[in-house]
Amino acid sequence: MSSKHYGSCLCGAVRFEIAGDFERFYLCHCEYCRKDTGSAHAANLFSATATLQWLSGEDQVRVFNLPSTRHRNRFCATCGSALPDLQMNGALLKVPAGSLDTDVHIRPDAHIFFASKAGWDEALEKVPKVAKLP
């Protein structure tokens, strides 16, 4: 049994379909992911077997590979939203969890590169949770 997932960027130009299952889910706190996402960590799903199909807006998809590193991301040229990317010469599909419009049924496996986390990224589970704007 193989599942299907659908996702899109914020402006809606880019839409995609993922056929297959995710094997790993990592929250990466490395300095590149923090800079790239502008946040505490990236939240990426990985699959060595799932396939990616662009449903619309493929001409809007841009790739950035940080020189001399394996850090690579795809994003929408109009809104900058993170998009799925084939890594390791196409062997591994990386899907930013936040780009998906369908539910993700696996839980994160680990916080990785935790030694590189932001100074303010400490005991965040204790921070008050507000339903909407404070």
Kindly list the residues in this chain that would bind Zn ion in the complex (CB under 5 A): 9, 11, 13, 28, 30, 33, 76, 78-79
Q: How far is the CB of 94 from Zn ion (least distance, A)?
A: 10
Of the two residues 4 and 35, which places its CB atom closer to Zn ion in the complex?
Answer: 35
Give the list of residues 6+ apart from residue 32 with CB closer than 8 angstroms, or none.
66, 69, 71
5: its two tokens: 């997932």
Give residue 131's Cα distance to chain centre: 24
Of the two residues 28 and 95, which places its CB atom closer to Zn ion in the complex?
Answer: 28
How far apart CA 77 and CA 60 sit, in angstroms, is 5
Of the two residues 79 and 110, which places its CB atom closer to Zn ion in the complex?
Answer: 79
Q: How far is the CB of 19 from Zn ion (least distance, A)?
A: 22
